[in-house]
Structure 1
Amino acid sequence: MENDTNKLEHFTETILRDADERSQKILESVEKARKARLNSAEKELKARMERQVEAGIAQVKSKTGQAVSQKMMEDKRRLFEKRAQVAQKIYDDLAEKVESWTESGDYTAWLSRQLEKAMKSLPGEQEKVYLFCRTQDEEYLKGCMEQCQRPWELAVSESIHMGGLRLECPESHMAVDCTLDSAAQETQEHIAEYLGLRLE
C-alpha cells in the first residue's frame, strides 16, 4: 500500500513538474512575444515621430522660404518704386529747366545752329525739305528758312513739345532729329539704366 502511495506521489510530482516546465515555457514565449511586439511598436512609433518631425521641419522650411521670398519681393518692389520716383523727379527737374531755357535768347541761337547743321547734313540742294517744330518756334524758324535756297515746307508737329526741330527729306529717305524731346527721352533712358530700372 505504501509502495502505491509512493508511486502516486512520484507520478504527481512528475506531472506537476512537467506542467510547471510547460507553464514556464508558455510564460517565456508570451514574454518573448510581448517584448517583440513592444519593440516593434517602439520602432514604429519612433519612425512615425521621425516622419512627423521631418514633415514639420519641411513645413517650417517651406513657410520660412515663402516668407523670406515674399519679403524679398516686397523689398525689391519698394526699391524699384523708389528708384522710379527718383528717376521721375530728375526728369521733371530737367524738363522744368529746359522749359525755362527755351524762353531765353540762348535757345533761339541754339535753334538756329541746329537748323544750319541739319540742313548741311541733308544731301541734294534741290530736294524739298520738310521742317517740323512746335507752335512757339514756328515764326522764328519760318524767318530762318526764308533765306533757304532749296524748296521747303514748315509744319507744326504735335510730337514736339519741349522744343527743337526735325528735318525730313523724303526724296533722300533721310531725317535729322534735333528735338529736345528725343534728347530728353535718351536722358530718361540713361537715368533709368543708371538707377537699375531698365528691364533686360
Structure 2
Amino acid sequence: MDNIIASIRKHFDVRDESLALMISGLKELNVPKKTMLIQPDRSDKNIYFVENGIARAYTIRDGKEVTSWFSKEGDLLYSTNSFHGPVPGYESETVQVLEDSLLYFMPIDQLEVLCRSHIDIANWMRYVQQKAFVEMERRLINRFYLSAEKRYEDFMANHAKLIQRVNLGYIASYLGISHVTLCALRK
C-alpha cells in the first residue's frame, strides 16, 4: 500500500493511528485491464484506492463516451451517484480500468463512520474533494477560454505521464477535442 499511503501523507497529516485504522478496513482487489469496475446499471457502494494501475470515468453523451476523469496510483475511484447520492447527468457513469490494477476498497458507509470519528480522516477527505473540485473548475474554465492547443499544453504540463498510459481517444475526449485534433497537436 505504499502508493496509497504516500499519496495520503504527501497532501495531508493523518495521524498514524487513524491511517492504520483506515488501512485495516481495506480489502485487496486485483482487476484486469478493460474491466468495467463501476457500471451505470449497478449500484456500487465502495470507494477504491489505486495502488497500481489506472482507470477512467466516462458518461455517454449523444452516443459517445465522454471521459470525465482519470485515477492513477494514490488516487481514489468511486461512483459519483453512490458517493454523493443521485446526481443528474451521471446516470450513465462508468468506471473502466485501463491497465491491470491493484486496488483496495472499503464500503463508503464505513469510510463515513471513520470520518465522523476521526477528524484527521474527515479533513483528508475534505482536502481530496476540494482538490477534485478545483481541478474540475480549472478544466471547465480552460474549455471556455483556451484553444485546443493550450488545453493540450496544460494537460501535458500537469499529466504528461498519462499520455504513454492512456488511449489517445480517451485523452481527446477528456480535453473536449477530436482524436484528429489531438494527433495534429502532438506533431
| TM-score normalised by length of structure 2 | 0.21
Structure (1/2) with the larger strand percentage: 2
Report the structure number with the largest CA radius of gyration.
1
Larger relative contact order, structure 1 or 2 (CA cutoff 8 Å, min sep 6): 2
TM-score between both structures, scaled by the size of structure 1 = 0.20
